Amino acid sequence: MAELYIGALSGTSIDGIDVALVRFAPGPELIDTHFHTLPGSLREQLLRLSQPGDNEIDAMGNADVLLGKEFAAAVNALLAKTHTDPTRIRAIGSHGQTIRHRPQNDPCFTLQIGDPNVIAVETGIRVVADFRRKDIALGGQGAPLVPAFHDAIFRSRQVDRVIVNIGGIANLTVLPRGQFSPIIGFDTGPGNTLLDAWCQKMLGQPMDKDGMLAARGRIVPALLQSMLTDPYFGRRPPKTTGREYFSMDWLNHHLKAISRPGVADVQATLLALTVHTIADAIKRLPMLKTPEIYICGGGAHNIAVMRSLQVQLPESKVDKTDVIGVAADWVEAMAFAWLARQRMHEQPGNLPIVTGASRPTVLGSVYLPG
């Protein structure tokens, strides 16, 4: 029997909440979507919580509830838009908002907020949340989780494929055409986070729309080389990272040695960093024969990013995931609908080969409205 789920996510760009209504019959079909803008004050609070600071517990407790309300509002708006009664939804899969991810700590941890109890009560729908920590309890990094979903919907028998999500952080999934070849998945490094941060700082704009500022600049080779020396890029997977690592402090550290860099030149160099680290990660993948490369996440709209990826990977066709059936903006939200369904069907959600966990496991806890 067909089932309806809603996937909800606020990603590392902290630009707003993506919600997707998905029908599983049993393959997933995207029915409709909604993007819910976060109030500016809450966005500020979340950005602050993403870096170590003062009085974090009070700030986190407050943001946890406020964000839960925003997730509920986002879901309710989608239900209204689609004239869907809440009783028809089997569950909401809510990722929440990552405010800290410390895969290198001992013990490592990850923290997502957006209280699922509030979401359940204010929507009247059961919520599956806390998707990452069971994987961490089993020795994994709790991320990336989307590779299992990519495998479920994007794997081809004929060609090798690489799916690249360019969100705040960029992550990729390698889907070899052979049924039994292992999937590879990891975070390549910064996606849009530094591009957004520099643009915000220098121009007061939340993003460099279509890479226009970057297109006016020239790459600063010394800055690019300095950033590329970061050990993260050379590390072997499993590996994940976050905006608390690739932060303005990280950029300022590398800028120190550069005398009077131009605003557009730094933007161009940051764009080159994103593209270079993704392309380099793909070039170093074993066993792939000219894979097809499909991009999702907000970075797929950055024309300059897409063009330069194609230049760096001339033998492959670089395209958006739209051409293989899912609009680039909605892959992640759909993935959390899928993960909620995995939870309700008591099926594993993680891929140990990707996260480093000791075994596949059912992910997430269930929160009831009643």
Ligand X SMILES: Nc1ncnc2c1ncn2[C@@H]1O[C@H](COP(=O)(O)OP(=O)(O)OP(=O)(O)O)[C@@H](O)[C@H]1O
144 binds, among ligand X, ligand AH0, none (CB under 5 to 8 A by kind): ligand AH0
Q: How far apart are the first and last CA of the chain?
A: 25
Q: How far is the CB of 12 from ligand AH0 (least distance, A)?
A: 4
| Cα 291 to Cα 276: distance, rounded to the nearest angstrom | 17
161-166 sheet: strands from edge to edge: 184-190, 169-175, 161-166, 292-296, 318-320
The answer for residues whose C-beta is within 8 angstroms of residue 213's C-beta and 6 or more apart is: 199, 203, 263, 264, 267
* 365 annotated binding-site participant: no
CA 173 to chain centre: 12
| Residue 293 touching ligand AH0 (CB under 6 A) | no
Size of site (CB under 6 A) for ligand AH0: 18
The most distant pair of C-alpha atoms in the chain lies apart, rounded to whole Å, by 64
240 binds, among ligand X, ligand AH0, none (CB under 5 to 8 A by kind): ligand AH0
Residue with tokens 């800055």: 223
Instruction: Give the nearer residue to ligand X in terms of CB position, either 334 or 344.
Output: 334
Q: How far is the CB of 146 from ligand AH0 (least distance, A)?
A: 3
Q: HSE on the CB side for 254, CA within 13 Å? A: 21
| Residue 45 touching ligand AH0 (CB under 6 A) | no
| Residue 63 touching ligand AH0 (CB under 6 A) | no
Chain residues 324-343 in contact with ligand AH0, contact rule CB under 6 A = 332
Candidate residues 78, 79, 162, 169; the one interacting with ligand AH0 per rule CB under 6 A = 169
Cα Rg, the chain, nearest whole Å: 20
Instruction: Give the nearer residue to ligand X in terms of CB position, either 169 or 220.
Output: 169
* 18 annotated binding-site participant: yes
Angle between helices 263-283 and 193-203 (to 10 degrees): 180
Asked whether 110 and 300 are in contact (CB, 8 A), the reply is: no
Residue with tokens 């680039």: 328
Q: How far is the CB of 46 from ligand AH0 (least distance, A)?
A: 12
Residue 365 main-chain phi, psi, to 5 deg: -115, 155
A 10 A CB-CB count for 177 gives 16
Chain residues 170-189 in contact with ligand AH0, contact rule CB under 6 A = 171, 187
176 binds, among ligand X, ligand AH0, none (CB under 5 to 8 A by kind): none
The answer for residues whose C-beta is within 8 angstroms of residue 143's C-beta and 6 or more apart is: 101, 103, 110, 132, 171, 187, 240, 355
Chain residues 225-244 in contact with ligand AH0, contact rule CB under 6 A = 240, 242
101 binds, among ligand X, ligand AH0, none (CB under 5 to 8 A by kind): ligand AH0
Q: How far is the CB of 159 from ligand X (least distance, A)?
A: 25
Asked whether 337 and 20 are in contact (CB, 8 A), the reply is: yes
Which H or E run contains 309? helix 303-312
Q: Which two tokens stand for residue 228?
A: 């590329």
| Residue 110 touching ligand AH0 (CB under 6 A) | yes
Instruction: Give the nearer residue to ligand AH0 in terms of CB position, either 92 or 121.
Output: 92
* 13 annotated binding-site participant: yes
| Residue 145 touching ligand AH0 (CB under 6 A) | yes
Instruction: Give the nearer residue to ligand AH0 in terms of CB position, either 15 or 187.
Output: 187
* 17 annotated binding-site participant: yes
Choose the stretch contacting ligand AH0; rule: CB under 6 A; options: 55-63, 67-75, 144-152, 309-317: 144-152
Q: Which two tokens stand for residue 94?
A: 């809510």
The binding site for ligand X (CB under 6 A) comprises: 11-13, 15, 165, 167-169, 191-192, 195-196, 207-211, 297-299, 301-302, 332
Binding site for ligand AH0 (CB under 6 A): 11-12, 98, 101, 110, 143-146, 165, 167-169, 171, 187, 240, 242, 332
Q: Show binding-site residues for ATP.
A: 11-18
